[in-house]
Structure 1
């Protein structure tokens, strides 16, 4: 194709071709004319435009332009690759370097080509570095691949860690013809790896030291994480490896600690199935440790692209919280001292018994109410600590006295209750009471001393009328108080009459509170007579209750109730004020100016120190007003005795009522400011024939005379009794023989008709 073209152009001898055959001295290179590697002869005298045209045609004919374009593309790839690329001759001379390497070093190709590898500008020129590079080159030149992380100097003298390698290229004869240099800046990669390593160590430390148990598995269900807390709960040593399924190696239970956890309920398996768990409760048991109650939360793990990676579960130990909740539930339902069920438990069980009895009357039950007799004395003698120990022993004995189906509960203080479950009748109740009394009959050992404690027991059998738990407990309590009043250390079975009596008592208490304010109380007066002349020298004030329905009530109908309910203090103060008013009114009558008046006061009144309107020490006593106290007052609280002496210092006369029926003696009377003894009617009634009683009365009168005490004989009903006490030296008396208690007007008439033989002034004491 070229020869005809050249001949037409006037150059028939010209030839074009590549390679060695065109090495004649007259060969002209067509490279400048666009045909590298091609030469032409016979055109030495041709103008440039002819050579250019020949070059273009020749390049097209031989496909040289395509080769050039391929070469340029490969070079571009070589220069743009992210790795450092270079070529060495077998003597270590750099003959090529790509743009990536040149850009890293901040230099040009002309500055590095033809220089030995170890003299390249990207190496720190220290003896150690130069020696290392020589060693690396020698290894590659010997045909052995070399790879190592080296430090290189980049642009602006920045140091970088580079993954560096030398690859020998061996020719057909087995001789290394050249060496390929490759490198990659791994500074950021190593930094990231370091950060990842630190993060991994940090995460590992957290996992190993966190108080929660952490378990994780891969997508196949194999355990990959089992932290220190989890190992501790499962009874593992720290160096034991984990493999296999969680459920196959360890004992996992439901929250009850009894039911084995099925595979589909195991938290890690649920999370692996894609479930998100929150606070699933379960229990972990190990052979070496205690069971652990845990709350498990977790879910599946996915990659950024959504690919499943496995699952993770965190377990929070709630063992202590569960134990605390259990203790709180126990404490809420049991007495803290004795451990017995408390009132709440008793009410719940009793409620079920009542409901069951309504459905099945043959399923009877009974309630016992127990109170320790004189338990306060134990506390006073030995202290509350010993009192608590006694209660513990009582609880144990009560539990030992009943059946397993029965329930012993402590209601508070020294009060206990027993619920006797079906079958239960009156005979069964008495058998249980007998066993309780036998158990309680043995002495208790307190501080080495034997102490006997008895119980008062009330019992109420199940009844169709009972609808609420308060009703059988109320009736058992009522029966218990009946037993206590009957002499303690006894038992009573409730009957309906007891309930009626209680209701009557409650009504009486309510009415008595209202009676004090409504003016229903009145005073009657019984004369005190001088036995030598029959004159009236004074009166004893006796309270009566003018009930709007029941009529006039004697003190025996309400005084005891007033003592028990605390009404005796306001009632007694009313009597004292009314008696003082009446005495002042009598003293305004000239013929009654000699009269005195005795008013009974209670121990509660003597102990009152808080309310000024109730304190006796602040009362305005008129002349002739005398206070009567009972013998029990002399051994009552210290403040009562102190108030007695304070009243005596104010000049208030004090009489000892019902002398001989209590615990006082004449020696005790001598230690207290008593001026008058009132000899109880029980000593007077047998007279005059009672020899023993005569001797007692005579002895009292003789000793009272020596102690300068005046004696009044109570309960005189016959002239013979008056003669008997008069002969023994008693000068004063009172009784039905002279007059029953009468109203104030009738009392004044009696005093006027029985005046003193010789006019007298108001005595200091009767």
Structure 2
């Protein structure tokens, strides 16, 4: 700033006083002092002018009416105009204000207010020498004239100071934009973000965080947060202490990684979050605060829980499945190993004839029955026991805490009583019985599959002994099971190595004694055990599914033998019958063993039992398809089924074979005789052949013939014999030209 004018005036007035010399002619001391003061003032003024000219700020001196009186060099350099073009003009008419803008008016107002004694500041734009707009900050400072009394003293000058702030403005704007962008990002990110300063005061609590805590958009003082929510460990039960809160841990300098906790807003669903974060440090390492990000994993955790539940539970009934039962059983066995005073038991249950329900009512109805079964089983056991579904219509029960054989039998009785109540299916009452196998705790059990295996073995023993009963496992059952497994293995080898053969038992015409055909009966030429009849292996073949390929082999071999016999004129009229299993009739269309894809030469008859038809309703459809192709069908073991007379009417059969259980009582038993007579009468009306099976004595043969049976087979005539012996027998009992074996099925 230039030297103050009032000081200069005082100095000049002093110098104009008359100079007084002393008697020696030298200047007086006052004169010397005045000159020294004048020089000092001039130096001070020059120094201030130098500083004023070279300052980095824009500076100007205005009169109170806003006229430019002085401009420093920094201002002249900036505008690149000579001083004489600018001085004497109102400051608002200076050329550096943008044309048509508001800047000139704002400067005019500020200058006049300063001229009236008011300090004023402005931030506005000015035009640089290159025509670019720059941002400047200006201050207008009024300087009052010296006067003894300051009251009402007019403004003598206005000092204008300014600086270019373009870079600062740009930086501030960028900072503002960055802050807005950061705030927008924090508000819209899908994770909860919380941050605090070094004192622990929250500085960031974004939208998702507020939602997680159930706080909404309204600000909530930190001191009142506990009124709105609680924090728990991941178990959802243990309260989370302050030392365990992730933000507090981060504030203490800890790097928090994937820490799970539960946020429980009061009155709102709980949230499970996974938090990660750490301290915020300044450039010099000072701790500025902490920040934590929280990811909501509630849906993921629920999905994981559902997945774990699905992995360990049956999808239909919701009961524990085999895997979960195995885990529980393993722990129970370990406890029993430590403390034999806590025995356990395993029940294995199978619904008897459940397939009939599926076949009669459909699988949806079958599923409803399984659901009802699961509910009944759960109601019948103790709370400490576990009911599991093993698959299909098989269930298991782990009796625990503790359970000996006596208690296990009581539970089994309750289960069977519960199952005896009729089920209501499609407005009909259906009764389903249950076969149960029971295995009790034993120190001999080392692997969890052993008690399950033994209970399963006992269950099959219950089925074989008549169903709807409970059987306790005994060691010999396991030996029998091992024998069945070994038989199955050997059956597979026998099929591969062709160890089977067919023997043939003749069917005789009782009136003439002629041989009209043969029933083909399977034999296994076992390499160690010799010749085996079906009783030694057929049950294993049925249970293992090997009956289908084995039955297919029987059909092919019987066809081959029949065609060989038919090539001989004296044997050309014979028939050969082959027994079919229910599984063969139920083979899926187009798969290996499908009967409807096979060829059947004339004279080949197929035998099916009533029991197979009852167990496999699909068999009726297959039988009708075979009948349409002209394949003769026989109903074997007639009289042993649940609805023999009805079966004879409904099924497209041409021959009834009366079971040996009726024939064996002939003659003499009035009841059995009446049954056979009724069958023969029925067959005569239906135009069916009747064959009496198991005829072993001449008296039985004469009685059967007297009752109207036209044909018979049994040991009286011949045991089953190989093909060559059968052909010799047929030649010894020639059929001749007559063909007595007729009926609607031939």
Q: TM-score range by the shorter chain?
A: 0.7 to 0.9
Q: Which residue of 2 aligns with 1:369?
A: 348
Q: Which residue of 1 aligns with 2:139?
A: 164
Aligned counterparts of 1:139 and 1:112: Cα–Cα separation in 2: 21
Aligned counterparts of 1:693 and 1:344: Cα–Cα separation in 2: 53
1:200 pairs with 2:169? no
Aligned counterparts of 1:392 and 1:670: Cα–Cα separation in 2: 37
> How many residues are treated as equivalent by the alignment?
716
1:339 pairs with 2:318? yes
How do residues 101-112 of structure 1 correspond to structure 2 at under 5 angstroms?
101-112=75-86
How do residues 152-551 of structure 1 correspond to structure 2 at under 5 angstroms?
152-156=126-130, 159=133, 160-173=135-148, 174=150, 175-176=153-154, 178-185=156-163, 187-188=165-166, 189-243=168-222, 251-304=230-283, 306-551=285-530
Q: Which residue of 2 aligns with 1:694?
A: 673
Alignment deviations for residues 531-588 of structure 1 (CA, whole Å, 9 cap, x no partner): 3454545443333333333333333223333333333344344444544555566667
The alpha-carbon deviation at position 665 of structure 1 amounts to 5.5
How do residues 535-614 of structure 1 correspond to structure 2 at under 5 angstroms?
535-580=514-559, 582=561, 596-606=575-585, 610=590
Q: Secondary structure at the match of 1:72?
A: helix
Q: Which residue of 2 aligns with 1:20?
A: 16
Structure 1 unaligned regions, length at least 5: 1-16, 25-40, 43-57
Q: Indicate the larger mover: 145-154 or 392-401.
A: 145-154
Q: Indicate the larger mover: 556-565 or 427-436.
A: 556-565
The alpha-carbon deviation at position 495 of structure 1 amounts to 1.0
How do residues 117-136 of structure 1 correspond to structure 2 at under 5 angstroms?
117=91, 120-122=94-96, 136=110
TM-score, normalised with respect to structure 2: 0.83
Aligned counterparts of 1:249 and 1:637: Cα–Cα separation in 2: 65
Alignment deviations for residues 366-410 of structure 1 (CA, whole Å, 9 cap, x no partner): 111122233333344444444333333322222222222222222
Q: Secondary structure at the match of 1:500?
A: helix
Aligned counterparts of 2:552 and 2:421: Cα–Cα separation in 1: 47
Please tell me whether the aligned partners of residues 137 and 164 of structure 2 are also in contact (alpha carbons under 8 angstroms).
yes
Aligned counterparts of 1:70 and 1:300: Cα–Cα separation in 2: 56
Alignment deviations for residues 326-346 of structure 1 (CA, whole Å, 9 cap, x no partner): 222222222223222222211
How do residues 37-116 of structure 1 correspond to structure 2 at under 5 angstroms?
62=36, 70-89=44-63, 93-116=67-90
The alpha-carbon deviation at position 464 of structure 1 amounts to 1.6
Aligned counterparts of 2:436 and 2:370: Cα–Cα separation in 1: 16
Q: Indicate the larger mover: 247-256 or 494-503.
A: 247-256
Return closer, same or farther for 1:63/1:480 CA change in 2, 3 Å cut-off: same
The alpha-carbon deviation at position 425 of structure 1 amounts to 0.6
The alpha-carbon deviation at position 119 of structure 1 amounts to 5.2
Return closer, same or farther for 1:275/1:165 CA change in 2, 3 Å cut-off: farther
Q: Secondary structure at the match of 1:391?
A: helix
Aligned counterparts of 1:625 and 1:584: Cα–Cα separation in 2: 10
Q: Secondary structure at the match of 1:155?
A: coil
Return closer, same or farther for 1:382/1:171 CA change in 2, 3 Å cut-off: farther
The alpha-carbon deviation at position 424 of structure 1 amounts to 1.2
The alpha-carbon deviation at position 426 of structure 1 amounts to 0.5
Alignment deviations for residues 712-733 of structure 1 (CA, whole Å, 9 cap, x no partner): 3333333333333333444433
Aligned counterparts of 2:491 and 2:204: Cα–Cα separation in 1: 81
Q: Which residue of 1 aligns with 2:737?
A: 760
Please tell me whether the aligned partners of residues 78 and 129 of structure 2 are also in contact (alpha carbons under 8 angstroms).
yes
Aligned counterparts of 1:611 and 1:250: Cα–Cα separation in 2: 64
Q: Indicate the larger mover: 207-216 or 362-371.
A: 207-216
Aligned counterparts of 2:97 and 2:565: Cα–Cα separation in 1: 137
Q: Indicate the larger mover: 255-264 or 143-152.
A: 143-152
Aligned counterparts of 1:658 and 1:360: Cα–Cα separation in 2: 55
The alpha-carbon deviation at position 62 of structure 1 amounts to 4.7
Q: Which has the larger radius of gyration?
A: 1
Return closer, same or farther for 1:78/1:344 CA change in 2, 3 Å cut-off: same
Structure 2 unaligned regions, length at least 5: 1-12, 27-31
Please tell me whether the aligned partners of residues 359 and 617 of structure 2 are also in contact (alpha carbons under 8 angstroms).
no
Q: Secondary structure at the match of 2:590?
A: coil
Please tell me whether the aligned partners of residues 437 and 455 of structure 2 are also in contact (alpha carbons under 8 angstroms).
yes
How do residues 638-677 of structure 1 correspond to structure 2 at under 5 angstroms?
640-641=619-620, 644=623, 653-662=632-641, 669=648, 674-677=653-656
Q: Which residue of 1 aligns with 2:5?
A: none
Return closer, same or farther for 1:445/1:72 CA change in 2, 3 Å cut-off: farther
Return closer, same or farther for 1:365/1:584 CA change in 2, 3 Å cut-off: same
Return closer, same or farther for 1:761/1:209 CA change in 2, 3 Å cut-off: same
Q: Indicate the larger mover: 459-468 or 747-756.
A: 747-756
How do residues 655-734 of structure 1 correspond to structure 2 at under 5 angstroms?
655-662=634-641, 669=648, 674-734=653-713
Alignment deviations for residues 595-622 of structure 1 (CA, whole Å, 9 cap, x no partner): 554443444445555367874764463x
Please tell me whether the aligned partners of residues 60 and 160 of structure 2 are also in contact (alpha carbons under 8 angstroms).
yes
Aligned counterparts of 2:607 and 2:105: Cα–Cα separation in 1: 128
Q: Which residue of 1 aligns with 2:4?
A: none
Aligned counterparts of 1:127 and 1:366: Cα–Cα separation in 2: 98
C-alpha RMSD over aligned residues: 4.0
